[in-house]
Amino acid sequence: MAIDPKQLTIAKAAAHLAHKDFSAEELTQAYLDAAEKKNPEINAYLELFSDARDAAKAADARRAKGETNPLLGIPLAMKDNILIKGKHASSASKILETYVAPYDATATKRLKDAGAVFLGRTNMDEFAMGGSTENSAFGPTKNPHDTTRVPGGSSGGSAAVVAADIALGSLGSDTGGSIRQPASFCGVVGLKPTYGAVSRFGLMAMASSLDQIGPFAKNVEDTEILFNAIKGNDPLDSTSAPDARFASASGAKTKLRIGVPESFAYGEGVDPEVVANFKETLAALAKAGHEIVPIELSHITHSLAVYYILMPAEASTNLARYDGVRFGMLKEGAKLFDDYAETRGAGFGREVRRRILLGAYVLSSGYYDAYYHKATAVRAMIEADFARAFTDVDIIATPTAPTPAFAIGEKSSDPLQMYLADIFTVPANLAGVPGISVPSGSMLRDGKMLPLGIQFLAPHFREDMLFAAGKSVEEHTQ
């Protein structure tokens, strides 16, 4: 049968493969052909892998022996900061442009074990620092819905390849919204799992207490398939949760009690059309039998300030290893210090340098207590707010982003405006709770229909309730 990527999902493609309507090799070739045609315009892939068809042939051989798996032979894409053995992994930075991964990330290995086919590595904000994928050393990614606009970030490439039908799914990383915000901007589903639910081994660290790998897909069903493949305990990651945590958190309700922090969700700076769409989606959920109740999260308005202290602090420490000695680029100077200064000056982009400086400052003598220590204390208060809220409601809903996708270059000269795009997403990372963005409609802007998303947050390890809520949105609003 003819393969039309626009009509396929992971579940549908798996069914076709099982019925031998086409082979994994044919499916992979169709996606490679589509990527070669579309990618020059949107710059979502940094590289298409030359051995993708070989991996697809291997998947076909496994299926011929009777193996079944929903990801066997499914073409996926990987963010450029998740290691695939033998492949370049640059984190979209000049400093790692020539780096080749010597081992697989645990998430990579689990997808390989499931028989997934990796089509290529996707563009991103350098070292995951940004919300627009404009900070890549290899040029910005463009939004497939309107190529004058950003796809979101930092996992913009991973969102764009799914939205453009040049991958059936992808993995990204989320430190403050880097999966959910681009999912909203590109009109796809994006999941940030509970901190510790998916191993971070083989993920290039930005802020280690916040980073989490998660999937993008066209719908909630596919997102759940990908999450189930990559989740679980990993002895190689000391922050990985024991599998018993998943077993004890199950049995999603069919009708949910959904909390809405109204003063936060409808606050200043949120686009009126975003608010209107959010309210319409809540009304549809209420009509479907879910209960919508107002809640108060007393300290959530401090989330952005806390995040932009803790994240740069951790990033400045994590990025100290990129010094020209152990990884990637080396620019030689007259002395060892000059080697470090010239390598990091040439290898890191403007936003990365900004955050390293901010992080070093808040950790410096005389400022640690005033900034970093105070931020960790407020983070604990935010976590406590969520814990209290989840004793009364099953999940919490907000818009995913305060605006639709903005124009390329619109916020580049004003970092604070760029950071404000994370207002709804950073609280989940600070509290370690899971969050999902599900398409909730669209709005007309400059003659183009731009996607919007609704975000749901759940207690730790209750991704099942996020999937239930997301499927309800798909059923009752689309």
d(CA 66, CA 63): 5
Active site residue 79: yes
Catalytic residue among 90, 93, 154, 316: 154
Catalytic residue among 23, 90, 93, 178: 178
Catalytic residue among 38, 79, 142, 411: 79
Backbone φ and ψ of 448, nearest 5°: -120, 145
> Exposed (0-12), middle (13-18) or buried (19+): which is 28, by Cβ within 10 Å?
buried
Positions marked catalytic: 79, 154, 178
